[in-house]
Amino acid sequence: MQLNKIPATVVTGFLGSGKTTLLSNVLKQAKGKRIAVIVNEFGELDIDADLLRSCPLECEDDAAQMVAGDAENGIYELANGCICCTVEEEFLPVMQQLVARRDDIDHILIETSGLALPKPLVQAFNWPDIKQYCTVDAVITVVDGPAIAAGRFANDEERVQAQRLADDSLDHDPSLQELLDDQLSAADLVVVSKNDLLSDDDQTKVAAVVNRIVPSEVKTAYVSHGEAELDVLLGIESAAEERIDAVHTHHDHHHDHGEHHDHAHDHFDSFVLRFGDVDSEKLQQQLKTLIAENNIYRAKGFASLPGKPMRQVFQAVGKRLDVHFDRLWQAEETRQTQLVVIGKDLNEAELKAALAQAEVQPA
């Protein structure tokens, strides 16, 4: 007898492409649905879980109920590291817990880290303990529209040259291209994010990159601020685990042989920088300068400003830096400034010293 399996949606996509933004929109829209969320981050701080958990001022009462239990507020944070390399140690035990509580769960949402390969994760759904009770509703691959249109993951020489001329700091990197290919080749739905920043011409460029990899039956949705209709995202019923073994990727060899070194993500540096109160303007200036001068793909975190009761979120993706206040610091929290930085060939001490100039000494 075929039981009703719990559908699980895997949201993958490069660093800063917009996965958390999409997930938070699903949680807002999925009225009354009981949703378990699994979040996996590359950096050492669980910023995404924290952002999903924090209820913004306009938070609606009828948003999805997160499935509580062992996890705080229904968000299961997988330990640091890439989900694709820790499937057995980290992912399976969480799935086993969820399967044991299947009567309380309508849907599972999984956000992979930006450097993760979706294939090994989807393959884990074929483990007998999981397969019986759970199926992959869809792999949703979020691609950063403006980054792709700017040729950041370019593969053809002409575009690489154009990109080099336009922008020295975002040198073409074949490992980024391979990661994009592998994330796209597993997709049941492609979400092109940040559509608000795309011109018609940009959309055409992005479509060309996407269509090079995904078959024509895979749909592409252009989305601004994560605001896609729930029907587009959930209920795709792809059972992706059934066909994942046949999907060819650049990294098949490494995983098939249990070799986890030489992954795309092994070539990245990631660290957390901590400071006390900071001058926000100065921190923004310093960060922008560092981003212009180094290969920083992603920086994100929270800033503590002197005398301000609210926490300030810092989000840098490529050259863009967004800064906004999200919520009050809570009594039990230590107020401090913390930034995760992810990139290549980074000198942690130098970056730390540069950003420390924004620190404000207590009066």
* Cβ closest to ligand GTP, residue 22 vs residue 278: 22
User: Which of 34, 159, 225, 327 is close enough to bind ligand GTP by CB under 6 A?
Assistant: 225
The answer to whether 247 and 119 have CB atoms below 8 angstroms apart is yes
Distance in angstroms (rounded) separating the CA atoms of residues 53 and 73: 7
Cβ of 274: how many Cβ atoms within 10 Å?
A: 12
Closest approach, Cβ 344 to ligand GTP, in A, equals 15
DSSP for 44-106? SS-HHHHHHHS--TT--TTSPEE--SSSGGGEEEEPSS-GGGSIIIIIHHHHHHHHHTGGG-S
The answer to whether 19 and 116 have CB atoms below 8 angstroms apart is no
Using DSSP's 3-state secondary structure scheme, residue 311 falls into strand
Interior/surface letters 291-300, b for 16+ CB within 10 angstroms, e for the rest: beebbbbbbb
User: Which of 148, 298, 301, 351 is close enough to bind ligand GTP by CB under 6 A?
Assistant: 298
Helix (H) or strand (E) holding 123: helix 118-123
* Cβ closest to ligand GTP, residue 197 vs residue 239: 197
Distance in angstroms (rounded) separating the CA atoms of residues 83 and 40: 6
Closest approach, Cβ 232 to ligand GTP, in A, equals 15
On the CB side of 362, how many CA atoms lie within 13 Å of its CA? Answer: 5
* Cβ closest to ligand GTP, residue 16 vs residue 74: 16
Each residue 94-133 as x (binds ligand GTP by CB under 6 A) or -, in order, gives --------------------x-------------------
196 part of the interface to ligand GTP, by CB under 6 A:
yes
User: Which of 9, 12, 17, 183 is close enough to bind ligand GTP by CB under 6 A?
Assistant: 17
* Cβ closest to ligand GTP, residue 102 vs residue 327: 327
Footprint of ligand GTP on 21-40 (CB under 6 A): 21
Closest approach, Cβ 161 to ligand GTP, in A, equals 28
Token pair of 363 as six digits: 């009066």
* Cβ closest to ligand GTP, residue 100 vs residue 292: 292
Closest approach, Cβ 255 to ligand GTP, in A, equals 21
Footprint of ligand GTP on 306-345 (CB under 6 A): 315, 317, 322
User: Which of 8, 10, 13, 210 is close enough to bind ligand GTP by CB under 6 A?
Assistant: 13
Phi, psi of 281, rounded to the nearest 5 degrees? -60, -45
Q: Which residues bind ligand GTP (CB under 6 A)?
A: 13, 15-21, 48, 114, 193-194, 196-197, 224-226, 298, 300, 315, 317, 322
